[in-house]
Structure 1
Amino acid sequence: QVYITIMRKKWRKRFLVEPVDTLAVRGLPAVLNCSAASDAPVRVEWKKDGTFLNLVADDRKRQLADGSLLISAVVHSKHNKPDEGVYQCVATIDNLGTISSRTARLTVAGLPRFLSQPEGVSVRSGGTEMLSCEVTEELAPFTRWERDGRPVELDGRVIQLPSGALVISNGSQSDAGLYRCSIDGLGPAKTTDEAQLQVSADSGVEEKLETLQGPVAVAKVVGESVLLPCVMKGYPVPVIRWTLNDRPIDESRERFAVIGGGSLQIVNLTEEDAGIYVCQADSGNMTSEIQAELTVHVPPRFLTRPSNTYAQESMDIIFECDVTGSPPPTVKWMKDGDTVIPSDYFRMHNLQVLGLVKSDEGFYQCLAENDAGNVQASAQLIILDLDVALPSAVPSLTDATTDHVASGPSERNDPTPSAPRDVVASLVSTQFIKLTWRLPAEPHGENITYSVFYSLEGTNRERVENTSGPGEMQVTIQNLAPDTKYTFRVVASNANGPGESSTPLTVATQLEVQVPGPAPNLQVVSVGTSSVTLSWDRPVTGNGEIQTYRLFYSEKGRDSEQDVDVTGLSYTMTGLKTFTEYSFRVVAYNKHGPGVSTEDVVVRTLSDAPSAAPQNLTLEVLNSTSIMVRWQPPPAGTLNGELTGYRLRYRKGLRRADAAEISTSQLFQLIEGLEKGKVYTVRVSASTVNGSGPTTEWIAAETFENDLDESQVPGVPSSLHVRPLVNRIVVSWTPPENQDVLVRGYKIGYGIGSPHAHTVTLDYKQRFYSIDNLDPSSHYVITLKAFNNMGEGIPIYNSATTRPQSAPDPTPMLPPVGVQATVLSHDTVKVSWADNSLAKNQKITDSRYYTIRWKTNIPANTKYKTANTTTLFHTVTALKPNTLYEFSVMVTKSRRSSTWSMTAHGTTFESIPSSAPKDVTVISKEGNPRIININWQPPTEANGKITGYIIYYSTDVDAEVHDWVVEPVLGNRLTHQIQGLTLDTTYYYKIQARNSKGMGPMSDAVQFHTPKGKSSTSLRLAHKPGITGSQEKRVLVIVVIVSVGAFTIIAVIAGAVLCTRRSNSHQKKKRAACKSSTGSHKYKSSSKDLNPPDLWIHHERLELKPMDKSPEPNPVMTETPIPRTAQDPAAEPSHQRRGHEAEESRRGRLALYPHSCSCHFSSLCFCFWLFFSLRCFASLNPNSNTAPLAWLSLSQTYETDELSEEMAHLEGLMKDLNAITTD
């Protein structure tokens, strides 16, 4: 109902009728009802598929006086369907507004016709039969049945299915006759041919179970009724049971009824009725199951409706609209019949209108729709001007019952304040502006309040912000867009009303180079057992065009995340695990990088029936009438849902027979009431709410013929006989003399000289056994004992000596031919051959057997392995992966054997490496302690071609694997260089190999401690931001003075030490005294040109890398070591990474570049060094004019104590220099 609302009082008016979904027939008229009334004239129009109908130009459609739409003759063909579609009624009051009705779908049915004719059938007395009436889906509700020209009366025994078919259960002679199907209510009745139904007497002959009609998936709306067909035919008459989500349905419930011999009828559906329905039919020794899913939809329903609202320009208002339903309804908004498009001033889900303008006035409608229907609710917005009194009665079409009226302007003529003075923007940021002003020159009162009106430059849509209290003359406008111009004006108000407005002030917000904000409204819905659908909205603060969205997801409980790039605002993720919880989050990217991540949303994929059978099914015969069945759950990851129980089926005999079923939630079940001395077979399946999974194989067990005593262990077997042969011994025995004690089996022990080397367990029925693969001419001791559940009985002993190996027959047999080796897997090869000494059909009729031998040629001294078989093929297992094997076959018959056949070759498939890389060594790079070289050898068991290696390294050997730094290496490399390490730090290294099949195990951790840093001749400090003008010059002068002073002190100390130690080092090689201007250095064996590496300064975390022979194109000194997040962002936990994803794109690196300093020394240079030295260089070459200056290695020049003393002295000097610099 829709009412007409006046601002000061309401007049009750309403939509008298709204259109509903209609089924029309081709060629016949159709009417869509709609009627609206109001005290003001109402104009009714119609839309079809969102477009207004032009009834003037369409002679088949016309609008009736009450507003309904009449289609005189519906047109519908295969290629022309002008009348079918979605219709909507629109009511308009001129100069006021428009509202729309709910939508209605017009479906056109073809002319009544039958797809096939019913056929005559015969039903056994007491049986079930079905007569088909095949029509299109939309015509099925109009079908009726007649018998002998009279309508068939439907009851619980005779029913009509939703498809139109007629089901007759518990047939009798009164059901015999001629049946025909007709279509009524769609014009002239149309009937099928008549079909004869005959009823025959019950002959007692078993009839095969046959499914005539089973349930199919169906969707219904809450409150409707549904009929799930289950029509079974057979003899004995099938017994039908129904289950919902693997739980039996209580047919005594009022809303559930089984009719028509097995079909399930449910009335007044609720949401709890949705699920998987299974129809189970048992007829004698035959069983049949059919399942179908029932989906129950709930139409949209309003929890909160929008209310009529009265407001003034520049205000912000919200229309609330809260809807529920199943599936969740989609909500859209309309204004005066047009769809509202989201923008900066119109925001959804509840409709928020910001900065009202006069054109926003009108009727707003909230439309909610899902698969079960659609609803609408309306509200009117009236804009009141500040200088106009409340208008007189205005008609309304809305059904809202709440009016929000704003205060009107004052009618008094008392003075109001003048305009505020000196309005300025005291603070401008990227997203807010702070305005301040002075008191108006003429306030005309106290307690002055202020309103700030602002808008985007060039638009007339103003928004208003009021000060927080009287007398406050500043306000901060929030949530502005960066780099955007806004216009502001301030109005002062006193007790008499608002005064004059200040002069407009235009201010632009600052430019903000920023990444996007979080994507709002992230929703994740499971749509299948292995898929979910995600949707989100565009970030409110996009900061430019969004280039892509990156969707991160991970299985709950795992730290590693996977990601996928998405261009739109939704994505369907597939390939997930069944019934598994996943965590999802979304990060938006623009040209500046990743934005802020959304919060994690956790969802579980839908459950499914188990995908594997229970494991380790065993049967234990307890007595002559009971068997204990035990099993283990299906393998992990195959249950696919919450386990609801197990279904156990057993039958008598090995062939198909009457099978009984037991449901249980335990891992064992006792089957009682069985027959004595009979064989029973059992199988088990697991169940979830979605159904039962695969069953195990049938396992057989035989009950005892009599109940025996098991309160004591069995006695000793009464006899034990042995018959030795060359390679085997045949053992036979008789059971214990006391036949009243239960024997569950026998155990045979045997071995050379001792019976405890090998043990064989046999069934209680067995009386002989052949012990094979024995050595000739060997003495074996054999023991036999019976056992039951109480324990093992007393053993009986015997011994035998195998016969000696006889000489081979001088005429060997022909060797097998056509030997082929077929590779089945990484460790299995099937060897097959032909035997020319057999008949053409290759059937073995004698006692010959074949011996297969195989080996690999790597290493060369590998021995053959052999196996025997009596067939023309053999499957060799336990081979090495990716290995070439050769196979040959020999045939043996009695004492004759053939030579070995020609060899066949086969290379097993690859498998993942089963050993780690070996001989892992780590050494520091000479001249650069921050770089190490790591070397290794391939795995011993590579199991295929190595395609790559992964190097893990960390400073914490106990850290989780995902916290180690990872560097991949190609498979053809056995060495790798790792850069950017921290000095004086212990690192641990592991290596993992991979091939085409996957990753192998990791090597053991190798420990390596990076060396301490060396001193440098000079440093060039990076320029620090913020130091300008005279401060910068002053700092530069200090840096130069300190650098020169430090260099001089180091040179003095080094020269003094060199000269002091020179006279005591006659055995050392001569070294050069000058360094070339190029700054390069090399190590040579000649004493004339020995140039050790430069001595670098190691200070705090600064690292100096030499300029020459640098592995990087631009060698730099980094202030901080490279964190793991810079190399492997995927390894960082999601909750830590979110805060850095935006930061990392702007992170810089402070670098210091070393200077290259050198000079050419002449004799004057040499005397300069003598001036600062304690002793002279005794062995300098005066003929060398440009020899490079060389620093002697500390390890070669100093003793340990002397080096420590010198370094401590140097450190003290550096601290003094730092203090001077600070002052």
Structure 2
Amino acid sequence: LENSRTKMRSAVSVREGQGVVLLCGPPPRAGDLSFAWIFNEYPSFVQEDSRRFVSQETGHLYIAKVEPSDVGNYTCVVTSTVTNSQVLGSPTPLVLRTDGVMGEYEPKIEVQFPETLPAAKGSTVKLECFALGNPVPQINWRRSDGLPFPTKIKLRKSNGMIEIPNFQQEDAGQYECITENSRGKNIARGRLTYYAKPHWIQMIKDTEIAVEDTLYWDCRASGKPKPSYRWLKNGDQLSTEGRIQIENGALTISNLNLTDSGRYQCVAENKHGVIYSSAELRVVASAPDFSKNPMKKLIQVQIGSTVDFECKPKASPKAKCSWKKGGEQLQENGRIMLLKDGGLRIANVTKADAGSYTCLATNQFGTASGSTNLIVTEPTRITLAPSNMDVAVGESVVLPCQVQHDPVLDISFTWYFNGTLTDFKKDASHFEKVGGSASGDLMIRNIQLKHSGKYVCMVKTEVDSVASAADLIVRGSPGPPEHVKVDEITDTTAQISWQEGIDNHSPVTAYTIQARTPFSVGWQRVTTVPDVIDGKTFTTTVVDLNPWVEYEFRVVASNKIGGGEPSLPSEKVRTEEAVPEIPPSEVSGGGGSRSELVITWDPIPEELQNGEGFGYVVAFRPFGTTTWIQTVVTSPDTPRYVFRNESILPFSPYEVKVGVYNNKGEGPFSSVTTVFSAEEEPSLAPSGVSARSLSSSVIEVSWTAIPWKMSNGRLLGYEVRYWNNGGKEESSNRAKTAGNETSIRITGLKSNLAYYTAVRAYNSAGAGPFSATVNATTKKTPPSQPPGNVVWNVTDSRVILSWEEVRAMDNESEVTGYKVLYRTSSQTNMNVMNTDKTTAELLLQFNEDYIIEVKATSDGGDGTSSDQILIPRLASMDARGSGPSVLNIFSVSSFLPTILSLTLNSML
């Protein structure tokens, strides 16, 4: 590349519109190079387009039509694609002449490809074509034979170059470059020819051959033109002579000797290349040797069969073989044959053929021998073979397979089911081999439909094998019927048809039809005509369907084994509309507000509405009259109707009935029932209202019942409103009584606080006026101090308890007495003993533990309990005759595992 440097170049002067070629001038034989041009200064490179082109063949820069913007210095950059080194040529100034502008002219091709260009198979071919001209010429490519370009061909550099990757035979031919502008056109033509270097199809391999044998090597290569062949031995040319024959790529050397050993080469060549395939020939000479291919020690065959003995010692040249049985030389006869490869064949073997056979192998270098022992056995026979069977699903069977065989042979049993080996581990739940050593019986448990098929028992020994087969037919419930469809539909019937399915080896005896709707719970059996469908009938009429309901149907087949799988559902179909047939049930009513008659019923479910436009006809009349008042309720889900009229008297009886209708017409009415109009709310307030405090959290309110007439309705009870001294009446709490109760206890109140109460009666029409307000003050809270220092003393049959007095605080209720609570392990509730003292005496049963606690009582309620006291079981002390009085104090926690309860008198 250094040689491409030149001295300063002179300026190139052209007219505007003229074409120009700037020469790069790389050195000859410069190797693989790529070219680019710098405009003025690096890194401003010339951008190739339809007007500017850099040839990668010549390195020159071609400008089809010079413009004023092209004026400047141009420098050729040459890069070695091998070393990636780069060198710059000297700048070439391009200037415009001042003597005018160049006129238009037709294209002049400056860059074109050779008239003939050989291209190698698999190579990438690039053809360049560029023309000067004004206006700038357009460039197009085509094949002279008119064939279209394959998709792999790419046009690059504004069509200035065509690229053909992976060149193949079909890419060869004449190509045309057409350059054209408004002044004319010019065409460059060139032919691509295809060639291929030789390529091996078959090569030779290292070979070892015995002396006196024949070598045959064949090598083949592809290429265009077709390659020629020659052979070399140790680098020297081989030619056809005597034992050596050469024909194309084949080499034959007959009657080999040790001097023929050496390195051989097959050479394939054409004018585009040469290739070599090498291999080593080793000619060997040796005495017979059985060590690499010894004879079998033992051969076992059965009587009547044919046996072959192999005798293939390694020997160069090949050994001649003879045979002996024991010490007697064997000669060929009707049963004995000496084979060409040195082996021995005996046909129709008998027991007398058993014994030792020796092969004697000989060539000019020595002799060797090998022996085989022949054992002749009785043939294996199946004495009890499996037979064809017919069973039902769920049964178990045994397929027998018992044999008689030569005792010197080991025997094995295998079973095949429909051609597949049975895996007894994988299928242990169904298959098991049973029987003794000479038996291969197969037990099949809980047989299923999938077990139908052919079973083969295969018996094998070292010398023979026998087999026996049987067909097992499994009968089961039928498979699902097919192609269920609805042929005709009315308001209450459907014509159903189907095709029979698989009967599983047991004829179908009956079919049943099932239906499903959006309202049913799963599939339900339906009524058909005929009621019983025999196995030969494939159509029926389903009856008693509900009108205007979407149905699906399926069919179930049965045989003597049982019912089968149901078919796939039919397409959904809707029955036709009909007048509704069922009136509402549970027609009732009552309640509501003054001057109202409330009528209620259970709505008819959608599946019984029988069509669109469903609603209710509500009819009513005062008891004792004859004219019905009717109204329509259009919503099918509505469960009530309210008739309002100021003339309606409280709690008056009415006769009521509710009917149904849809777009098809009116259906029946329900039976007539009596419903009372709304009651009149109570008008009087309770009298005699009083309130008293029962504890710190409970007050009791009492009152006198109001006078009530049954003609006004039914009194449901009383409502008590209560609130404390700091609260507001509007946000008061409420409590209710039922029926005629005239008192109530209000719990959960705050202690030592005044509560106000008022009472009123209520019924279904509403509540009456409140009574006058009364008040009561809850008592102070009970004592918070628990009884302290609780001590117990056991003497004979008594437990004597004592504790410290509890004193109430100023804000607590005064102590009025004490409660002793006790229980045994057999009780769930505490017993209670009341006392106004700080001592108590209990009589005990001594066979249980006791838990005792003490609490103070007051007007405000019970105080805090003491810690629980555990008195252990005293049976052992009685057994010793009840010792002296003992004073004990125990913590409950120390006896938790054995805590028991007392069983004395009163229960909490």
Same fold (TM over 0.5): no
Between structure 1 and structure 2, the one with the greater Rg is: 2
- The alignment's TM-score, normalised by the length of structure 1, stands at 0.23
Q: Greater helix share, 1 or 2? A: 1
